[in-house]
């Protein structure tokens, strides 16, 4: 059974790769056309916008989720009251579907309904905040929703990393008179590389495959301004009925994941070798 | 990879899922409130508001009438409370020409989730067991592929799967979508169970072998009873993962079997004419209700479950 499951992945990826060199439309074709699909892909505006977007969205959402998640983790680590309650609050969005997240934020940022309209009705009529209707700012709305959904998880991973650090380290830092914030930034953070790497990998892979959030929140719009590679792949397969093109895009989608996972394994292997060398 | 190396991404999450980490902060709770501590609480409360406000807005809006929503005042409590939007969302909201609300989607999600969860966990526990104790050639390669499989974006393999399911006649069927969820749950679940079983003392297994118990006897009489904690984690992971799935549902389930997430998106994003925000928000809360209920009931278990499963999805 496990062989079947792994086989599905391997064979599936193999076919995706093969069909990316064919002129498949709605039905698969086995007629090879060389790199034509890739050439067409990289001259397609929609794809170029999607690639631009994923870099921006990926960088913004990963960095903000890590920074915000670590801040939350550090503040949660200050012997506070109601830690469990706060943890539940920070983490509950993660339990919900990205479709739900997307719809919620679509409403909050809706110019006629959300924050914008509320400020107007409170008398602040010059207030202007409706990122989703402007092609230039729509992606920021997506990033905010991604932070809302994902940083609680980053907090949980990083907090468990913080709590895994030996109490001796903290005492030593205190004796040496190092300010707490410096301890957190320059001593604790490097010591919990594993947790940071885990949080990073999960955020990065999540960003590459972002699909549901886009569909629910902007549908890729306004225009094509929030199109993403994963959305491009699916729309090529379904609405455009241009599977060969979709498969070329899907193969491109696989590259960053291989890079991220490969990097992670390499880093693991490297730090393990360094440990044993000591 | 050997059983000793559990520091891979999945290993980290699986160890988070199975072992207790220190849950209490250092030292006693301070009694007095210094300015620094007020600052700490201020930050945490502002952060909590950021996370809570969307939920609050949804709940109050779903209890308002449309006339009131049109006035703006997103954050006000309803002037006249009404439960009608919830009834409409459940029974009458329209997707295209069908106006049966979300209830068919809910039933579909149950029909998809329950068998997928049972089958995938059953199979994954056997696989994890086999991988952890019965070493055979290629087990390491298989393990590496599993880790990789847990990270592959679904979009990459969707098209070959559509073709394959169409060829065997399972495309757009309930069985097809259940098979898809089972297959895609397999890598992460197998890793989860494998790491759990690999952490059990090997003597347990050896003693049973000496007493003459075979592969299946060891599994059913020793392993299964000991797997309760990891099974809870797996159930949480799978139920929330499959319930929240959108991509597979819209592609593989077929219109009559569309799960709740797909119907929700259709109700909200394809409505013509006036948008009934109160109905839409009630529908959204209803869709989120099952995973949220699991979240609040399971508490700490949930953190372990999602930590283990964040690679999925």
CB within 8 Å: A89 and B154: no
Q: Quick check: A254 and B152 in contact, CB under 8 A?
A: yes
A243-277 helix and A193-208 helix, angle to the nearest 10 degrees: 180
Highest mean pLDDT range out of A114-123, B16-25, B123-132, B242-251?
B242-251
How high is the pLDDT of residue B304? Answer: 66
CB within 8 Å: A89 and B52: yes
How high is the pLDDT of residue B29? Answer: 54
pLDDT at residue B282 is higher than 80: yes
CB within 8 Å: A107 and B277: yes
Q: DSSP state, B77?
A: P
Q: Which residues of B touch A211 (CB under 8 A)?
A: 155, 246-247
Which of A86, A117, A230 is nearest residue B48 as measured by Cβ atoms?
A: A86
- Alpha carbon distance, N-terminus to C-terminus of chain A: 42
pLDDT band at B25 (very low <50, low <70, confident <90, very high): low
Question: At B98, is the secondary structure helix, strand, or coil?
Answer: strand
- From the candidates A99, A210, A221, which should be mutated to test the interface with B, based on the most B CB atoms within 10 A? A99
CB within 8 Å: B284 and A91: no
Mean pLDDT of B16-42: 62
pLDDT band at B16 (very low <50, low <70, confident <90, very high): very low
Q: How far apart are CA B281 and CA A204, in angstroms?
A: 30
Highest mean pLDDT range out of A113-122, A160-169, B54-63, B195-204?
B54-63
CB within 8 Å: B145 and A9: yes
How high is the pLDDT of residue B135? Answer: 65
Q: Which residues of B touch A28 (CB under 8 A)?
A: 159, 163
pLDDT at residue A6 is higher than 80: no
Percent of chain A with pLDDT over 70: 97
Residue B299 tokens, joined: 């508490």
Q: Which residues of B touch A265 (CB under 8 A)?
A: 8
CB within 8 Å: A78 and B12: no
Highest mean pLDDT range out of A50-54, A235-239, B64-68, B128-132?
A50-54
Mean pLDDT of A230-237: 87
**H/E element holding B154?**
helix B154-167
Give the chain A residue nearest B281 (alpha carbons).
A104
pLDDT at residue B201 is higher than 70: yes
How high is the pLDDT of residue B121? Answer: 93
CB within 8 Å: A16 and B157: yes
Which of B13, B27, B57 is nearest residue A108 as measured by Cβ atoms?
A: B57
**Cβ neighbours of B3 (radius 10 Å):** 17
| pLDDT tens digits, A19-74 | 888 877 777 777 777 777 888 878 888 888 889 899 999 999 999 999 999 999 99
pLDDT at residue B97 is higher than 90: no
Q: Quick check: A205 and A72 in contact, CB under 8 A?
A: no
Distance from the B202 Cα atom to the nearest Cα atom in chain A, whole angstroms: 23
CB within 8 Å: A97 and B149: no
> Is ipTM beyond 0.90?
no
Give the chain A residue nearest B153 (alpha carbons).
A209
How high is the pLDDT of residue B101? Answer: 82
pLDDT band at B28 (very low <50, low <70, confident <90, very high): low
Q: Which residues of B touch A227 (CB under 8 A)?
A: none
Which of A95, A121, A216 is nearest residue B73 as measured by Cβ atoms?
A: A121
CB within 8 Å: B28 and A90: no
Full DSSP string of chain A: -HHHHHHHHHHHHHHHHHHTTB---SS----B-TTHHHHHHTT-HHHHHHHHHHHHHHHHHHHHHHHHHHHHHHHHTTT-TTHHHHHHHHHHHHHS-HHHHHHHHHHHT-TTTSHHHHHHHTT-TT----GGGSTTTHHHHHHHHHHHHHHHHHHHHHHHHHHTS-HHHHHHHHHTT--HHHIIIIIIHHHTHHHHHHHHHHHHHHHHT--HHHHHHTTT-STTTT--HHHHHHHHHTTS--HHHHHHHHHHHHHHHHHHHHHHHHHHHHHHHHHHH-
CB within 8 Å: A103 and B280: yes
CA distances to B86, B223, B277 from B69, rounded to whole Å, are 15, 56, 8
- From the candidates A97, A109, A181, A210, which should be mutated to test the interface with B, based on the most B CB atoms within 10 A? A97
| pLDDT tens digits, A80-105 | 888 888 888 898 888 888 889 988 89
Percent of chain B with pLDDT over 90: 13
Q: Which residues of B touch A233 (CB under 8 A)?
A: 155-156, 158
How high is the pLDDT of residue B272? Answer: 66
pLDDT band at B113 (very low <50, low <70, confident <90, very high): very high
CB within 8 Å: A121 and B72: yes
Which of B12, B51, B311 is nearest residue A148 as measured by Cβ atoms?
A: B51
**Chain A to chain B, count of Cβ pairs less than 8 Å apart?**
276
Q: Which residues of A touch B245 (CB under 8 A)?
A: 97
- From the candidates A12, A130, A199, which should be mutated to test the interface with B, based on the most B CB atoms within 10 A? A12
**H/E element holding B289?**
helix B277-298
CB within 8 Å: B284 and A100: yes
| pLDDT tens digits, A195-229 | 888 888 888 888 888 888 998 888 877 878 888 88
Distance from the A237 Cα atom to the nearest Cα atom in chain B, whole angstroms: 7
Mean pLDDT of B178-196: 87
Mean pLDDT of chain B: 79
Nearest to B46 by CA among A109, A119, A90: A90
How high is the pLDDT of residue A218? Answer: 86
Residue A207 tokens, joined: 């960003």
Lowest average pLDDT, out of A52-66, B174-188, B289-303, goes to B289-303
Query: What is the torsional sign of CA A269, A270, A273, A278?
Result: negative
pLDDT at residue B21 is higher than 60: no
Q: How far apart are CA A241 and CA A197, in angstroms?
A: 38
Give the chain A residue nearest B166 (alpha carbons).
A27
| pLDDT tens digits, A136-188 | 888 898 999 999 998 888 898 888 888 888 888 888 888 888 888 888 888 88
Fold that domain B105-258+289-309 belongs to in CATH = MetI-like fold (1.10.3720)
pLDDT at residue A119 is higher than 70: yes
Domains and CATH numbers, chain A: 2-277 (1.10.3720.10)
Place of tokens 């890598």: B187
Q: How far apart are CA A163 and CA A192, in angstroms?
A: 10
pLDDT at residue B301 is higher than 50: yes
- From the candidates B27, B74, B298, which should be mutated to test the interface with A, based on the most A CB atoms within 10 A? B74
Residue B106 tokens, joined: 């809910």
pLDDT at residue B98 is higher than 80: no
Of residues A217 and B139, the one with the higher pLDDT is: A217
CB within 8 Å: A211 and B280: no
Give the chain B residue nearest A27 (alpha carbons).
B163
CA distances to A183, A187, A190, B26 from A174, rounded to whole Å, are 9, 12, 17, 13
Lowest average pLDDT, out of B1-15, B177-191, B268-282, goes to B1-15
pLDDT at residue B19 is higher than 50: no
Q: Which residues of B touch A202 (CB under 8 A)?
A: 9, 310-311
């Amino acid at each position: 059974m496990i062989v079947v499951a792994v086989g599905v992945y391997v064979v599936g990826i193999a076919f995706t790769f093969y069909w990316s060199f064919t002129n498949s439309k709605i039905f698969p074709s086995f007629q090879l056309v060389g790199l034509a699909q890739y050439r067409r892909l990289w001259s397609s505006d929609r794809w170029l916008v999607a690639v631009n977007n994923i870099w921006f969205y990926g960088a913004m959402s990963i960095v903000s989720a890590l920074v915000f998640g670590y801040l939350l983790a550090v503040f949660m680590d200050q012997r506070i009251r109601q830690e469990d309650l706060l943890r539940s609050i920070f983490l509950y969005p993660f339990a919900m579907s990205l479709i739900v997240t997307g719809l919620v934020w679509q409403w909050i940022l809706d110019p006629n309904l959300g924050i914008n309209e509320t400020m107007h009705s409170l008398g602040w009529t010059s207030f202007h905040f409706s990122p989703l209707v402007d092609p230039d700012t729509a992606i920021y709305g997506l990033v905010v929703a991604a932070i809302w959904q994902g940083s609680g998880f980053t907090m949980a991973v990083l907090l468990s990393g913080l709590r895994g650090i030996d109490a001796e380290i903290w005492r030593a830092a205190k004796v040496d008179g190092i300010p707490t914030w410096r301890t957190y930034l320059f001593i604790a953070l490097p010591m919990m590389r594993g947790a940071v790497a885990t949080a990073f990998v999960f955020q990065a892979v999540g960003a590459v495959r972002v699909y549901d959030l886009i569909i629910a929140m902007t549908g890729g719009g306004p225009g094509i301004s929030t199109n993403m590679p994963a959305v491009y792949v699916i729309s090529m397969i379904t609405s455009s009925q241009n599977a060969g093109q979709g498969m070329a895009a899907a193969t491109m989608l696989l590259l960053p994941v291989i890079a991220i996972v490969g990097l992670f394994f390499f880093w693991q292997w490297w730090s393990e070798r360094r440990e044993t060398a000591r | 990879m050997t059983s000793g190396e559990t520091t891979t991404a999945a290993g980290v999450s699986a160890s988070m899922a199975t072992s207790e980490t220190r849950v209490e902060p250092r030292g006693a709770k301070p009694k007095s409130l210094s300015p620094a501590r007020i600052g700490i609480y201020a930050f945490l409360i502002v952060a909590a508001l950021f996370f809570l406000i969307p939920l609050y807005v949804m709940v109050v809006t779903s209890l308002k009438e449309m006339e009131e929503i049109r006035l703006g005042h997103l954050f006000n409590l309803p002037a006249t409370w009404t439960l009608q939007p919830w009834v409409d969302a459940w029974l009458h909201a329209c997707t295209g020409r069908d106006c049966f609300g979300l209830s068919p989607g809910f039933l579909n999600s149950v029909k998809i989730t329950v068998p997928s969860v049972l089958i995938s966990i059953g199979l994954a526990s056997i696989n994890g067991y086999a991988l952890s104790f019965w070493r055979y050639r290629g087990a390491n390669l298989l393990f590496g592929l599993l880790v990789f499989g847990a990270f592959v974006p679904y979009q990459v393999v969707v098209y070959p799967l559509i073709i394959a399911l169409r060829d065997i006649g399972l495309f757009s069927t309930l069985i097809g979508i259940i098979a898809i969820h089972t297959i895609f749950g397999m890598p992460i679940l197998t890793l989860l169970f494998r790491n759990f079983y690999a952490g059990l003392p090997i003597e347990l297994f050896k003693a049973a072998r000496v007493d003459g118990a075979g592969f299946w006897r060891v599994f059913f009489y020793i392993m299964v009873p000991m797997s309760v904690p990891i099974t809870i984690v797996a159930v949480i992971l799978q139920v929330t993962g499959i319930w929240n799935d959108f991509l597979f549902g819209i592609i593989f389930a077929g219109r009559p079997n569309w799960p709740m997430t797909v119907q929700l998106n259709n109700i909200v994003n394809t409505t013509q004419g006036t948008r009934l925000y109160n109905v839409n928000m009630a529908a959204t809360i209803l869709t989120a209700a099952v995973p949220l209920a699991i979240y609040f009931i399971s508490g700490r278990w949930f953190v372990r479950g999602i930590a283990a499963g964040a690679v999925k999805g």
